[in-house]
Amino acid sequence: MRSAQKRNGDHYTSNKYSVSTYTSKFNSTHLENSESFDEMLESENSSMAERLYDLERQVLEQQEEILSLKSTLAEVLRRLNLLDCNSSRVSSSTSSSSSYETTIKNNRIRSSQITTTAPATTLDDWRLRRSGSNTNSTTNSPSRFQANTKVTNLNRRSLHHQSNGSLHSADSQSSTSPAASPLPRPATVHSTAAPLQLSNNNINNMNNINNNNNNHQSSTTNLMSQSSGGNMGSPTGLAKRWNSTGDFVVTSPTNSSSSAMLQNSRYTTKSLFNLQTKNSQNSLLKHGSNTAQYEEENQSVRMYLRGRPVVLYVPEKRADAVNYDITKVQPAPSKKLKLDWVYGYRGKDCRSNLYQLPTGEIVYFVAATVVLCNIDEQSQRHYLGHTDDIKSLAIHPNKLLIATGQCAGQDRRTASPHIRIWNSVSLATMAIIGVGDFQSSVTCVSFSQADNGTLLLAIDDSTEKTISVWEWQKGDTGKKITETKCSVDTVVGAEFHPLDRNQIITIGKNHIAFWTLDQNGALYKKMGIFDSREKPKYVTCLTFTAFGDVVTGDSNGNIILWGRGTNAIGKFVKKVHEGSVFSLCALRNGKLISGGGKDGRLVLLGEDLTPAGVENYVEPHFGAVRVVTQGKGMQLLVGTTKNCILSGDLDIGFTPVVMGHTDELWGLAIHPNMPQFITGGRDRLLQMWDTLSHSVVWSKDIGEQIQCVEFLPDGELVLVGTLTGKWLVFDPMTRELQSQYTDGNEPIQIIKASPNGTLVAIGSRDNTIYIYQRTGVPHKFNRIGKCNGHSSFILFLDWSVDGEVLRSNSGDYEVLFWNPNLCRQITNSSSLRDTEWASNSCAISFETIGIWPEGADGTDINVVNRNLDKSLMATGDDFGKVKLFTYPASKPKSLSYTYGGHSSHVTNLAFLHDDTRLISTGGADTSVLQWAII
């Protein structure tokens, strides 16, 4: 029995051991299976995340390709429509180009200096032909207005503020600026553009280009105030004393009925259908008025400038002065201006303002003008809706709409800070955002990316650095969702996250912030955490990887990756650059380009942010890197701090495609027999420009701040006046300094050579005119005397045709006449009433009575000039306007055309030697504008 129990116990023990072994094996197998399952699940999750990232990248790439195709189609349709509309126009510059080619053949040495020489039929000529006068596509530029509410009349600006580059006629630039009446009556302005006749398939395709705007109706009211007008046909109305510019508003009789219809209708803005725009309101003309009186006894006109009387004698022998009647209205000129080319770029203090559009154009801004430039075709188009300096720019996800933000001007009624959203194909304004809401400059704008651009972000550079988010398609002025204080320090960049709809990143002094926009419109901020790493003084730039990670550069030269959805550092790459990292550009292949400021290097970074060993640099005389963006293919576009735009790649280097000045610009001189001109500014740069190739022939730093420039009549020498009392003589062919002279220690305000080039008058700020005579040695001059008599600084000078008389204007509105050979004043000015003048740069003369507006300050007009055939006169003023008058503007009621584009005071202007173009220079905006005369 015991043996049986033993056997049973052994059997039990054996079974127990077997069960234990089985359980252990089962648990071990289960654990192994569980671990394998976890590994497989983790691997699957990782693989799924990678596939998701790949899909997101593919979607973004496909969206870019689709947008590129749609934009290209839009560009083709625009060009076909343009060629069809302007096929009958004859080029206005054929004679100019022919003359230029002849001059080039006869001056081979000089032509060898030109960067780009125009072919027999120049691109400039072709562009002028296709931008010919089209009376069915005219628009008006902005004018002065009054604001009585928070949302001012700027909201009511016409939706078509464009230049005529390759799309529009001359009238799109011409505008008038009648003084605002006490109670302006805004008139609703609507688009009357005829849509293109497209097939149903084309229409369906085009509807997808800008689906956010298909149901968006945009209506604004014209900015111009309508003054009560007098009866132009009434002799009584002409003879009466005028008090308002509304007395001389002229409308087109043929368009009066259509104008009334426009003022009482609404329109719907479609994305690309309204490619050809018509004039949104009748052309108005502005007159100049003052308290001028005609004194019949001595046949003179007495006018007052700031209370000072100025007596100007009426010529007796000139046909334009026979039977002079001060009450008559001087008609506007038969010709107009069309903005032809803009020289310059604003990179010295602005960021993220250079982009390549799918149509092949690059877009950037300078002064109050947005430039759309096709480098290959040498053509430009211009958006001119802004009234002051543009400070920011953003591209909509559809690559067709553009948002630009401006700063506040001195007169908040005419230059309130706001954002304008406009179509890059038709140049039609879609919305005007933030008038009355922003306090200072709009320094950053950004469209939301993940929801196809329904939201717009803005940073107001006010004391509190306000961040606001807008539903910009809600009404004509958008709807502000939220607004809050952003930072106590400077904000230099702000962007919506490309993949996360409600995330915003801002960067600037001492911070990077990650914002979340909740469903209720509230913004919540998390500051970036640097942990133990040194916090930079500035986070200077940002971009995004294809996976949604944020990459930033800072003032220490470091590049940092912040993981998607976090505010913690994911990767830190130290000292990629010496000094600040000014720009980061994410390439289409997933790599990045970083641009350094101090070292000027452009470095290629791999997807892991490590330098790939490929780099290049920007030459120091072009400035430090400000912004880098990808152009066509692997081409890079680089904007610099010295207002240049370079094109190239890391292998072959970079060449300039846009050059400009970097400081206040005053000096301008026209070559006497070639389509070229010279500019000089406070940046010490003396630059020769070619108007047909639109390029810089040469540029030279002369080491002195420049105030004025003058060509001798034979074109062999250039005279340069500086702020230190020196004036220098340069050879424009060799660019070498030939000689220099000093007259006092005050700035040389103006230099004027006599018609035969033997005498030179130097007008100084020390109230003296110095007279020099050219010697037998071409670049040597001898001083023959000084003309003393003015009680203020010398502003303007004119020589008589025979070189025997000199006329001068001073800063206190004094007009004096001189015998330059004796350096003595001619006190009997009435005896000079019939003197024929070789130029008309004096702003106070009988020929310029009509340029002075009612109640004008004498400092309002900075420059006046006459063309060679004595039919036109142009002025530049403190309000950034160029005005075109009929010459002579000898009637107080002289009508003119007004043109915008500059954002600062217009410091100088001059007609080319063949009267085909006008050049104007801006002061603080450092821009040079070239106008075609049509």
- Measured CA to CA in angstroms, residue 864 lies from 97, 241, 772 at distances of 27, 26, 24
Q: What is the pLDDT of residue 588?
A: 87
3-state secondary structure 339-370: EEEEECCCCCCCCCCCEECCCCCEEEEECCEE
The Cα–Cα gap between 670 and 912 comes to: 6
Phi, psi of 383 (to 5 degrees): -100, 125
Contact 639, 364 (CB under 8 A): yes
What's the pLDDT score for residue 356?
94
Q: Which of 416, 77, 544 is nearest to 274 (CA)?
A: 77
Q: What are the residues whose beta carbons fall under 8 Å from the beta carbon of 162, sequence distance 6 or more?
A: 139, 168, 172, 277, 381, 382, 383, 384, 385, 427, 428
Mean per-residue pLDDT pooled into runs of 10, the chain (934 residues): 49 50 56 65 72 70 68 68 53 45 41 35 36 37 35 39 36 38 34 36 41 38 34 34 34 33 32 33 44 87 87 84 86 96 96 92 97 94 95 95 92 85 95 94 95 95 93 93 93 95 94 93 93 91 94 96 94 93 93 91 92 92 94 92 95 94 96 97 97 96 97 96 97 96 96 96 97 94 96 97 97 95 95 95 94 78 95 95 95 94 95 97 96 96
CB neighbour list of residue 79: distance below 8 Å, 6 or more residues apart: 166
Residues 887, 889, 890, 894: is their CA dihedral positive or negative? positive
Quick one: pLDDT at residue 455?
Answer: 96
Give, in order, the Cα–Cα distances in Å from 167 to each of 271, 461, 584: 16, 35, 34
The phi-psi region of residue 188 (left if phi > 0; otherwise alpha if psi is between -120 and 50; otherwise beta) is beta
Q: For residue 47, what pLDDT is reported? A: 72
Q: How do beta strands 523-527 and 511-517 pair?
A: antiparallel
Whole-angstrom CA distances from 114 to 356, 676, 749 are 27, 10, 29
CA triple 720-721-727, angle to 5 deg: 80
Q: Are 651 and 612 in contact (CB under 8 A)?
A: no
- Cα–Cα distance measured from residue 152 to residue 708, given in angstroms and rounded to the nearest whole number: 40
pLDDT for residue 532: 85
Per-residue pLDDT at 25: 54
pLDDT at position 691 is 96
Q: What is the SS3 assignment for 880?
A: coil
Q: State residue 853's pLDDT score.
A: 83
pTM for this entry: 0.75
pLDDT of 78 reads 62
